[in-house]
Chain A
């Protein structure tokens, strides 16, 4: 079967790629577009390591077909920082030592960014529910939750 031609926007850049109908968005991001920051931990939507934003909503890119990206807005971890300036979530993850191995970190950052955009002042419990689909085996989540709360606070102050 011939490949499909897809036109989409990735990290605010207009992007075209060819894909097979059964290819996942994760597969295309990594193998075709070289965006290796999006990780595969399970391929079945259980771990959240491949989380990207599809029209500002967090999705497991292993569960999205690449052809579904046609005409949509995709944001990956590579698009979160502005040039040299880290996003407050990235900065707070670092300051709180909220990563150990770092494989879940891109997915956590993407998911947390979507949370704070939707709810600028999340409680600990709200963060725990929102991030329940992003597995981390190293940290026990404590420092991740604190980092997200702290980042939300900084973003509220910046917005004020």
Chain B
């Protein structure tokens, strides 16, 4: 593994930066085509209803309405059509979420869509569509979903994972278990056993850019799609499935993307826009409103986690039992499994029993959200570690160090950890001046750690040496937070050239090789690895060309600092050729110089973090202020340290928002009551202090530079870090998020929350 670097580890200005600060960068809503129509979606006003009929005739008759689609215009995909693989996909559910067929399953579920010559006419057409419903009782939380006579969202859904095949359908999609060792024996013998229940509400990724797409079908039946997505290849594949089109009939060009956090890894609008464009024979642009983003794009699950821990008198964890119940929304597929895998992952626990329930409710289908499933699990576990530390009078960092997972220890999901950095983040926290800084009255300090797997998966990179010696790096990974800068840094490092000579580009589905989504904290790790290997192929080509040019053996040349050189002992003289020199000789030495790498990257390397949070509580109003925050994380090797810091800061603040303010509010009919940034309050600048960061580097042996993904782990610790700080300030253990002023004030007034 490379350990000394010249470009990697510096923080230059990003290649796409000037366009982003001058307003030239083109995002999802920024593609305007001649003759373009406006597409709008008709959405269910009911959280649970059978659709008896949809009559679009009056709407179609309006002058300026060019096309209308309903569920009947899309392929009829049988129940249970599942594409297996690393990310199992139920195509029937996907199709029904994009546009309802027989039932509307949440307030905001799409029923029909129109394309018209103006937004006003499109709105008029939506109002002219007449829908007959049979309104059904909605299922709005975990308790209602499992009640004996609960209304069923899907009459054909039978719980998976029970010992006996169920005879009746249920809202519980699956019950899964991870277990090892004798939990009961440990609980009966342990010095200390603690147990509690924690809940988190439905929250949204809150990207500032609403989903947007411009689709244009030509007369040959080929669709060009421009959209903001974390995965253009996923948009192509999912749209083709829902439309029942051949993959090759859809080309997807990813725009700049205004945030995603997992929420832009699936499709909502694209198949509808393609279909409308095909029917109208004109380009169609669709942009969600903020209201639609909240009501109908993926939030993450509301959760309830019951957790029991056993420890000896010294604080060594002996057993853990966890029951996780996650709402999946209208269709199965909450992130309960990753929650189960994460809940005990930071610690060595001899015996554990983890059960996870995936439960349908009449809310929008849960989508990925930064470290899906892990923040809620860590909220429960890290709150309990805090309680254990207090009950045993052990420093909370010492308690974590005593039990910390390390190289060679086994994760609950089976793997033996390679080198990981949890201990290093805990030690850095212990030594950080923040940890020992004095506190004032009504202030408290909390500690929490966090874990996320990170993923590798498939990436392709092409590295082209241009005629002038500059270098184009083409990948299929959308740049959501500065990845073009890290691709350019890694290419510059490997080729030994200046960062400024690298032109990184995110290609479309026809100009770039296949790449999985930008998600799972995989891009810098996996796509970066593909870039490095494509550069190595270029270097090998250059060395081979040099040996032919100089008519010497391959092992008499080497590549260093951007040039192929002869070893000094060849005939006593030394020759060298730089990349720009090769660029000029390209035609004479075999043609254009280009390297390519396609990989399924393995060994992503788990990410661990420890956060320190100070809060101040106003005892008269219950308002909390985060007054100091430090995020410490293992990055393996920080390729662009400023953007790594940015991930730590941004993730921490999203987690702070989750802890303090954010929650979906529903009325008793399942209508979301706060679908705006005014009422769903994400953190604003005045809510926060500076977010200090410490980057720890424990190299990942599976990456040539030691890189690990960093994007997701930072959102895992904050929920508990904040709650633990509030406990320290108030002596009240909060088990339900968010820690909104009314809840905190009520608890202060009662002082009986625990």
Q: Are B646 and A97 in contact (CB under 8 A)?
A: yes
Q: Are A41 and B210 in contact (CB under 8 A)?
A: yes
Closest to A130 in B: B685
B256 is an interface residue with CB less than 8 A from chain A = yes
Q: Are A138 and B650 in contact (CB under 8 A)?
A: yes
- Give the residues from 618 to 646 in chain B that come closer than 8 angstroms, CB to CB, to chain A: 640, 642-643, 645-646
Q: How far is the CA of A90 from the CA of B30 in the complex (A)?
A: 21
Q: Are B21 and A99 in contact (CB under 8 A)?
A: yes
Task: Name, among B27, B206, B209, B645, the residue most crowded by chain A CB atoms within 10 Å (CB to CB).
Answer: B209
Q: Are B18 and A140 in contact (CB under 8 A)?
A: no
- Give the residues from 250 to 288 in chain B that come closer than 8 angstroms, CB to CB, to chain A: 256-261, 287
Q: Are B23 and A128 in contact (CB under 8 A)?
A: no
Q: Are A100 and B643 in contact (CB under 8 A)?
A: yes
B676 is an interface residue with CB less than 8 A from chain A = yes
Closest to A138 in B: B650
A71 is an interface residue with CB less than 8 A from chain B = no
Q: Are A78 and B642 in contact (CB under 8 A)?
A: no
A120 is an interface residue with CB less than 8 A from chain B = no
Q: Are A137 and B22 in contact (CB under 8 A)?
A: no
Q: Are A86 and B21 in contact (CB under 8 A)?
A: yes
Which one of A31, A78, A95, A129 contacts B13 once the chains associate, using CB atoms below 8 Å?
Answer: A95
B686 is an interface residue with CB less than 8 A from chain A = yes
Q: Are A137 and B27 in contact (CB under 8 A)?
A: no
Q: How far is the CA of A145 from the CA of B653 in the complex (A)?
A: 14
Q: Are A37 and B24 in contact (CB under 8 A)?
A: yes
Q: How far is the CA of A140 from the CA of B656 in the complex (A)?
A: 10
Given contacts A81-B22, A97-B642, A142 and B208 within 8 Å (CB-CB): no
B residues less than 8 Å from A105 (CB atoms): 20-21
Given contacts A97-B646, A140-B649, A143-B649, A49 and B208 within 8 Å (CB-CB): yes
A residues less than 8 Å from B647 (CB atoms): 100
B residues less than 8 Å from A76 (CB atoms): 23
Q: How far is the CA of A77 from the CA of B682 in the complex (A)?
A: 24
Closest to A96 in B: B642
- Give the residues from 93 to 143 in chain B that come closer than 8 angstroms, CB to CB, to chain A: none
Closest to A92 in B: B21
Residues of A within 8 A of B (CB-CB), count? 57
B482 is an interface residue with CB less than 8 A from chain A = yes
Which one of A42, A103, A139 contacts B27 once the chains associate, using CB atoms below 8 Å?
Answer: A103
- Chain A contact residues: over half helix, strand or loop, or mixed? loop
Q: How far is the CA of A81 from the CA of B565 in the complex (A)?
A: 44
Q: Are B20 and A141 in contact (CB under 8 A)?
A: no
A47 is an interface residue with CB less than 8 A from chain B = yes
CB distance from A101 to the nearest CB of B (A): 5
A residues less than 8 Å from B13 (CB atoms): 94-95
CB distance from A36 to the nearest CB of B (A): 4
B585 is an interface residue with CB less than 8 A from chain A = no
B290 is an interface residue with CB less than 8 A from chain A = yes
Contact flags (1/0) for A82-115 with B, using CB distance below 8 Å? 0000100010011111011111111001000000
Task: Name, among B257, B480, B690, the residue most crowded by chain A CB atoms within 10 Å (CB to CB).
Answer: B690
- Give the residues from 53 to 86 in chain A that come closer than 8 angstroms, CB to CB, to chain B: 76-78, 80-81, 86
A residues less than 8 Å from B260 (CB atoms): 101
Q: Are B208 and A132 in contact (CB under 8 A)?
A: no
Q: Are B20 and A142 in contact (CB under 8 A)?
A: no
Which one of B18, B208, B643, B678 contacts A97 once the chains associate, using CB atoms below 8 Å?
Answer: B643
Contact flags (1/0) for B670-695 with A, using CB distance below 8 Å? 00000011100011111010110000
Which one of A36, A94, A124 contacts B21 once the chains associate, using CB atoms below 8 Å?
Answer: A94
Closest to A107 in B: B208
Closest to A49 in B: B208
Task: Name, among B207, B258, B481, the residue most crowded by chain A CB atoms within 10 Å (CB to CB).
Answer: B258
Task: Name, among A39, A100, A105, A129, the residue most crowded by chain B CB atoms within 10 Å (CB to CB).
Answer: A100
Given contacts A37-B22, A100-B650, A137 and B676 within 8 Å (CB-CB): no
Closest to B640 in A: A97
CB distance from A113 to the nearest CB of B (A): 12
Given contacts A137-B208, A144-B685, A97 and B23 within 8 Å (CB-CB): no
A152 is an interface residue with CB less than 8 A from chain B = no
Q: How far is the CA of A25 from the CA of B17 in the complex (A)?
A: 26
19 A–B contacts from the bound complex (CB under 8 Å): A36-B26, A36-B30, A39-B29, A39-B208, A41-B209, A46-B290, A86-B21, A90-B21, A90-B22, A94-B13, A102-B258, A103-B208, A109-B21, A131-B685, A133-B684, A137-B259, A138-B259, A139-B650, A140-B683
18 new A-B contacts at CB < 8 Å, known A102-B16, A131-B684, A135-B208: A36-B30, A39-B29, A41-B258, A47-B290, A49-B208, A90-B21, A93-B21, A94-B21, A100-B646, A101-B260, A127-B685, A129-B685, A133-B684, A139-B650, A140-B653, A140-B683, A142-B688, A143-B646
Residues in chain A within 8 A of chain B (CB atoms)? 31, 34-44, 46-47, 49, 76-78, 80-81, 86, 90, 93-97, 99-106, 109, 124-125, 127-129, 131-146
